[in-house]
Amino acid sequence: MQLEQSYASEPVVEVASRPELWRTIVVLFKLRVVSLLLLSAFGGAVLGYLATGQSSLWAWLVLTVSGTLSAAGASGINQYLERERDTQMRRTAKRPLAANEINNPLTVLWISMGMILLATLLALTVNVETAVFILLGAIIYVGVYTIWLKPRTTLNIVIGGAAGSCAVVSGGAAMGGWSETAVWLLAALVFVWTPVHFWALALAYRDDYSRAAFPMLPACTAPHTAARWIALHTLFTVAAGIGLGLVPQVDWFYLLPITLLSLLLIKRTWQLLAVPEKQPALSLFHYSNIYLAVVLLVIMLAPVWR
């Protein structure tokens, strides 16, 4: 009886189930965003390969692992640094660090920094340029965007979009083609696409960003003004997307689906201009994801039809 009582008095340690653990990892390291960045790197790699003819299984493997580690590590640091402000936003209040699901947040910081370091060292086994652009992407996202620009200026995401461009160029570098025109055109596409994507989200949740004191452009201007800025960057995005079809590595086959997708992107943007409210903004946000993903997938299929 005494033995039973002593066992009953022991504190119960709750162990997260596998689905809960996986959900924490996905959200903490923003793996959905990472997957799109990885596609961007693959798109750059294909364009680099088509320009140089260089490719190896090792380069592809390293690009996949190091790109994932670096992007996930940068996302982990971002959530560590913004954990207090995340509690002020309905959209982010349930993130693991904001919701106090992790007992020692500093552990996340150290693990994330280690991931970026490991990614950089691994990328060096391919070439210096790949390592430079993988590390530069993390530095821009954490240092330039998260720490410097995001809390201070409405231009934060405009410049912060360079982090995504670095993913593209790292892919090109892995195939020996980081300086190729096609690679930089795709990097430019990601750069001008980023404000369309994130400003649409910020317009949908402008009150959230205001509460957290983040000066995102849609939270600091009238909705109609923000919609016009989004429309301007939509035109830049479409121009870059169509322009990619004019380089020798891609050619006309790419233009068929991308022209149609570009028209649909313009349509969604026009709907937001007409009604600059949450639902049209979210519609554009989700469609912009589809747009970039399809552009990248079509580019990745280029070696098949060439």
pLDDT tens per residue, range 188-213 = 999 999 999 999 999 999 999 999 99
pLDDT > 80? residue 7: no
Local structure of residue 150 (DSSP, 8 states): T
Average pLDDT rounded to a whole number, residues 157-170 = 96
Measure CA of the first residue to CA of the last residue in the chain; give whole Å.
78
| Whole-number Å distance between alpha carbons of 127 and 48 | 14
Q: Provide mean pLDDT across the span 23-43.
A: 95
Q: What is the pLDDT of residue 227?
A: 98
The pLDDT assigned to 223 comes to 98
Q: How big is the chain, counted in residues?
A: 306
Residue 45 to residue 170: CA distance in whole angstroms: 8
Confidence of residue 303 (pLDDT cuts 50, 70, 90): confident
**% pLDDT > 70, the chain:** 94
Measure the CA dihedral 126/182/164/143, to 10°: 70
User: CB–CB of 281/199 below 8 Å?
Assistant: no
Nearest one of 94, 92, 283, 87 to 203, comparing CA atoms:
283
10: pLDDT strictly greater than 50: no
User: What is the pLDDT, as a whole number, of residue 305?
Assistant: 73
Q: Which residues of 24-39 are buried (b: 16+ CB within 10 A; e: fewer)?
A: beebbbbbeebebbbb
Helices (H) and strands (E) in the chain, counts: 16, 0
Whole-angstrom distance, CA of residue 66 vs CA of residue 167: 11
Asked whether the predicted pLDDT for residue 6 surpasses 80, the reply is: no
Q: For domain 29-305, give the fold.
A: Farnesyl Diphosphate Synthase (1.10.600)
pTM: 0.92
pLDDT digits (tens, 9 = 90+) for 255-265: 999 999 999 99
